[in-house]
Amino acid sequence: MCGIAGFTRNDPQTLQRILTSIAHRGPDDSGSFFDTQLSLGHVRLSILDLSTAGHQPMAYEHLVLVYNGEVYNFQDIRKELEAEGYSFHSHSDSEVVVKAWHRWGEAALQKFHGMFAFAVYDKKRKRLTLCRDRVGVKPLYFIDRPDIFAFASELRALMPLSRRTIDRAALAHFFTLGYITENLAIFEDVKKLPPAHILRYDLAAKRSEIVRYWSIEEHYRQVQKSEAELIEELEERLIAGVKLRMVSDAPVGVFLSGGTDSSLVSAILQKHYGEIHTFTIGFAEAKYDESGYAKAVAEHLGTYHTHRILGATQAKEILQNFVDIYDEPFGDSSGIPTYLVSQVAKESGVKVVLSADGGDELFCGYERYRWSYGLGRKFGKLPLRKFLAQFIGACEPCLVRLPVRNMEHKLGFLRKILQSDDWYAIYSTILANYRDDIEKLGLQEPSFDKKPFEVGQKLHPMQGMMLWDFYNYLPNDILVKVDRATMATSIEGREPLLDHSIIEYAASIPFAYKYRNGESKYILKKVLERYLPKELVYRKKMGFGIPMFEWFRSDLIDLFDTYFTDDDVIDMEYPRKLLARFKAGEYVNVNKLWFVLVYKMWSERYL
């Protein structure tokens, strides 16, 4: 894996500063290219063709490429190009990408199976084209101002060129969800290129346009096949997707939680390759610890298994570098163990790890889908529900005094649910940490795209929730977490369940095979039954949570006193009141405190 960057000036000094900031993404090599109006840079983590033949930027005739990612089927594309007269000087997929672009232009994207974010500079046309993979596995930020156009793999790389003015809408996204979505970034002049999109920038006209080249929604065809046929075809696609991601000239391992998705990826790899290395993080607090399940799966499959217990002391050490790992405010606390398990894999000699993300969004895995659907059915038809919401609001000053744990939070949640008019409103209420009280921070409550829920209206409300997560939670939280944690330890993370052939097939499977009689991931588990005994397949999903509440009660409590200082952007009065209640032993939503802590740590580091 690699890091890329570029901007519309010939400025070697600034480019070197940018490349140094993302050197962790590519410690094996670096390179640069300069034109009168352009600087391009690349740092390389060697995975395919470990020789210098894979050096970038890579030029071919009038094209110059800087590329981050892996096109797993590059050998097939190479043979197709060779049949048309192209010759090759390396064994890298980078050379295949630049020559495929030379032959087919943007249409080459339809041939690529993989994860990528790259830029191609056409010297003849004075055009720079940015491309991001279909799901957003690989990140790509950009600045588009009249005085400069710039892009990079991470936000930190653009900080020397950004004006660093906080985007208050993006900040409201963060405090609501714990991450920034809708292709915003924390700075006003920085954006994220959406997954499955191309950005064309004309250097002469200083004009850009963004177009989409792929959509999951085109594949909701609902195939009519028997359950046995669906299971067989899905397994074939899963095997193909996993095998593609074994293309590597470096050692490969798997992050194994013991859940359905990672167990399935591990099982397929072990069956077809053998001697697979698996890695797990556990916790001393039993209600958060899944490492026993992972160990049982590893023992059944016969993998070389490593597990590490994460405690509060080590978590505190990782927290000291948390905002260096995640260079934009990022509230997913499971980023801490994800970084640790990446370290463990690195220490074990592995350079590539497979992470089984995407199964929840594609096959209805999250419990919140069931909760939201249940709440909608229960309260959606309740007579006078909006009147009841107003009544609760009027009586809230008295009701919060009742001896009920976290009463204020519960009343706000109930009032929002009663006021909800559609599935979007219900689901966004389930997701939000700060709701009405975001105004107490001096921010406005954000609104999000409702379009995914149109699919839910046609198929099933839970399908709309899944699609919303596919467009938002998956690329802006889950994939960010894995990319930054693996890159911070200079290893490459791969996502086999996010091969677009699997995504497209999953979209076509009727919803009844994804969620049936209270069982999530129904069809995935049917595939997994072919590899594991049922007692390892069917168990309660825990998720990848960490004992933040317990840690903040003890070892980490002093962090709040260090960072809960006055702020120029948000009002700290409300967070301080929450903190005082927390210290007094009251139950509060600890995520609200955690999000403020992350923002304040980030602000001190970067502003």
pLDDT along the chain (607 residues), means of 10: 92 96 88 96 71 80 96 96 95 94 98 96 97 97 98 97 97 97 95 98 97 96 91 96 81 90 95 89 84 94 93 87 94 93 92 94 96 89 80 77 73 83 92 89 93 91 97 97 93 94 96 94 97 90 69 85 95 95 87 95 95
Assigned token pair, 516:
């049936």
Alpha carbon separation from 437 to 53, 110, 177, 432 (Å, rounded):
56, 45, 13, 11
Question: How buried is residue 456: exposed, middle or buried, by Cβ count under 10 Å (0-12/13-18/19+)?
Answer: buried
- How many whole angstroms separate alpha carbon 489 and alpha carbon 506? 32
pLDDT recorded at residue 52:
62
For the chain, the distance separating the N- and C-terminal CA atoms, rounded to the nearest angstrom, is 29
Is residue 120 within 8 Å of residue 104, measured between CB atoms?
no
Is residue 179 within 8 Å of residue 173, measured between CB atoms?
yes
| Fold matches, 2-214 and 217-365+464-537 | no
Alpha carbon separation from 305 to 88, 334, 339, 343 (Å, rounded):
39, 21, 18, 15
Is residue 464 within 8 Å of residue 457, measured between CB atoms?
yes
Q: Where are the domains of the chain?
A: 2-214, 217-365+464-537, 558-607
Is 2-214 CATH 3.60.20.10?
yes
pTM for this prediction: 0.94
pLDDT recorded at residue 597:
96
- How many whole angstroms separate alpha carbon 84 and alpha carbon 78? 10
> What is the phi/psi pair of residue 146, to 5°?
-60, -30
- How many whole angstroms separate alpha carbon 543 and alpha carbon 550? 17
Please name every residue paired with 29 in a beta bridge, in sequence order, or none if there are none. Answer: 44
pLDDT recorded at residue 554:
80
Instruction: Report the candidate in 179, 110, 187 with the shortest Cα–Cα distance to residue 152.
Output: 187
E strand spans, 456-577: 492-494, 515-516, 519-520
pLDDT recorded at residue 543:
56
CATH of 217-365+464-537, one of 3.20.20.120, 3.90.930.12, 3.40.50.620, 3.40.50.720: 3.40.50.620
- How many whole angstroms separate alpha carbon 332 and alpha carbon 357? 15
Is residue 138 within 8 Å of residue 97, measured between CB atoms?
no
E strand spans, 349-438: 352-354
Is residue 181 within 8 Å of residue 480, measured between CB atoms?
no
Assigned token pair, 91:
């064994």
